[in-house]
Amino acid sequence: MSYQNTYEQWKKEEFLDRELKTELENLSNNEAEREDAFSKPLEFGTAGMRGILGAGINRMNIYTVRQATEGLARFMENSSEASKSRGVAIAYDSRHKSPEFALEAAKTLARHGIPSYVFESLRPTPELSFAVRHLNALAGIMITASHNPANYNGYKVYGESGGQMAPKDADALTAYVRSVENPLQIDVVPEDEAKEKGLLQIIGKEVDDAYLQEIDTVTINRDLVREEGKDLKLVFTPLHGAGKMLGEKALEQAGFTGFTFVPEQSVADPDFTTVKSPNPEEHSAFEYAISLGEQKGADLLVATDPDADRMGVAVKMPDGTYKVLSGNQIGALMQDYILKARQEAGTLPGNAVVLKSIVSSELSTAIAEKYQTKMVSVLTGFKFIAEKIQEYQEDGSQTFLFGFEESYGYLVKPFVRDKDAIQALVLIAEVAAFYKQKGENLYDALEAIFEEFGNYQEKTISITMSGLEGSAKIATLMKQLREDPPATFGGANVVSTEDYKLQEKVHADGAVTTMETPSSDVLKYFLEDDSWIAARPSGTEPKIKFYIGVKAGSEEVAEEKIKTYSAAISEITNVTS
């Protein structure tokens, strides 16, 4: 069916949501927008789906949410009639339509006799991950678009382990979702009826309390926190999202009472009116926190994204200004502290393991080696860290101590199987307290790490290519990189290339070795100066990302390398796009 016919089908739908009807009328005079909204379904992949709010099969609305949930229900029914009675946990963040989408998912499941457990109000993504395991649910749904702009929302599916679905199950689920041809014709059970039948249950405090009880185990040195926690000056901003309530309770529970919220950003606001982007990766997201931090003389500033699975940190510099740390730097600080504290306490397991993504800093590997701890790199996406945790839990081969991604995602304890900004908030406060007791701060700690291991610097270049044309450009770029692989970057020779899609590592002499990681559309180049560059199309956004990692004897030399390789990447993308 052509996009024009699909558009007309939606216009003729008698019971279409009134707000969407108005939007359809507005699209009548905008052919480009109409084509984008109706030419193809919103992509549903291993991370679920994410898109712009609005009318159309390529938009987030109650009908595409029903379609995704109908696919999940069919997937669960195929698993077994008995297991589907375990139900689905559902949570949502502060975005536009998030509560409505959560209820639509529950009402769709109810039509199949599948019970759902819906949080009473907004909750962080990590608590949803926890709730799946805590409630012994068969699956979980999180309504969120993470740190995307305000006009986005999304739908993430979790498996019974509490992690996002493994590729095999995700592929099967995707097939079921795509088999639902017309999202307008999916029946749902009315909310009151679903509640009366016990198919829609509202949850809240009991799960919160259980989650916070586990959060209490994140603290490593209770004596330290007892001595320093009340004096640590911390400014916390949840960036208008779901992190406030549990973040506040977690800090107080641990013993940190000297923290202050950024008042303007502590209110749940789907428009994120005080920030250009509600993303702790963006330095501009710290504008309000920095202003308040300067007034309070804060030791550190912490920001969580709208669904509180990512955390960013800014530290006070010697001149009194604040510097926003990278995700890799935050990960290094937390990892070094965990391993050091566990070693000094005599509780560092002989089979300890740290997990990171393939595009995260190799500084983490160097730190792990110091403490004789195994480092394992996995594909980008926290579900791959969660898979490894589950594997280690089942075979007992390794003891998980820490996992992180460069994109500001961290996990300390595996009672959650996704990145957890609430855990990270508690731990980074403890790390700051540790250094404050020594008369230092996190900047001093990072400088000491660089002095010991070398100056590691990283950069991510994100190139947006929107619409159908953008998707084609990204595919063409990756194709050309494979067919005509670069031999050098910025004058440095490529000594080997890892192609995660073909699962091959090609060496400069032409030798090829097979890789054991799952297939993924990623290329990673290793250069003769110990630097590396990776190219990866985003799975959830219309972007292609290039990652650069370098090591040098000084910050100045490292930054010069970053500039050189950034220019080389710019040349490649300009030529091929």
The 10s digit of each residue's pLDDT in 225-239 is: 999 999 999 999 999
Torsion of CA 115, 117, 122, 123, to 10 degrees: -130
List all residues 6 or more positions away from 382 whose beta carbon is below 8 Å from its beta carbon: 163, 164, 403, 405, 409, 411, 418, 419
List all residues 6 or more positions away from 566 whose beta carbon is below 8 Å from its beta carbon: 459, 461, 548
Could you tell me the pLDDT band of residue 577, with boundaries at 50, 70 and 90? Answer: very low
The 10s digit of each residue's pLDDT in 68-91 is: 999 999 999 988 777 899 999 999
Instruction: Annotate 212-261 with three-state secondary structure.
Output: HHHHHHHCCCHHHHHHHCCCCCEEEECCCCCCHHHHHHHHHHHCCCCEEE
146 catalytic? Reply is yes
Provide the 10 A C-beta neighbour count for residue 255.
Answer: 20
In whole angstroms, give the CA distance from residue 490 to residue 563.
9
Q: What is the pLDDT of residue 540?
A: 63
Tell me the mean pLDDT in the region 262-266: 98
The 10s digit of each residue's pLDDT in 502-548 is: 999 999 889 999 998 989 999 999 999 999 999 999 866 678 999 99
The 10s digit of each residue's pLDDT in 328-342 is: 999 999 999 999 999
CB 262 within 8 A of CB 289: yes
Q: What is the pLDDT of residue 456?
A: 97
Element containing residue 91 per DSSP (H, E): strand 88-92
Tell me the mean pLDDT in the region 260-271: 97
Percent of the chain surpassing pLDDT 90: 89
In whole angstroms, give the CA distance from residue 278 to residue 16.
31
Burial pattern 293-308, b for ≥16 Cβ within 10 A else e, equals: beeeebbbbbbbbbbb
Instruction: Annotate 393-434 with three-state secondary structure.
Output: HHHCCCEEEEEEECCCEEECCCCCCCCCHHHHHHHHHHHHHH
Residue 463 has pLDDT above 80, yes or no: yes
CB-side neighbour CA atoms (13 Å) of 416 = 32
Kindly give the residue spans of alpha helices, DSSP state H, lying in 56-204.
62-79, 81-84, 98-111, 125-134, 167-178, 191-196
What six digits make up the tokens of 361?
């800093």
Q: What is the pLDDT of residue 575?
A: 52
CB-side neighbour CA atoms (13 Å) of 535 = 26
Pairing of strands 259-261, 374-378: unpaired
Mean pLDDT over all residues of the chain? 95
- Cα 106 to chain centroid distance, Å, stands at 24
Q: What is the pLDDT of residue 1?
A: 75
The 10s digit of each residue's pLDDT in 40-54 is: 999 887 778 999 999
Helix (H/G/I), strand (E/B), else coil: 146: coil
- Cα 298 to chain centroid distance, Å, stands at 27
List all residues 6 or more positions away from 496 whose beta carbon is below 8 Å from its beta carbon: 505, 506, 507, 508, 525, 526
Tell me the mean pLDDT in the region 290-300: 96
Q: What is the pLDDT of residue 43?
A: 86
The 10s digit of each residue's pLDDT in 397-429 is: 999 999 999 999 999 999 999 999 999 999 999
In whole angstroms, give the CA distance from residue 281 to residue 279.
5
Q: Give me the catalytic one of 94, 98, 116, 146.
A: 146
Q: What is the pLDDT of residue 163?
A: 96
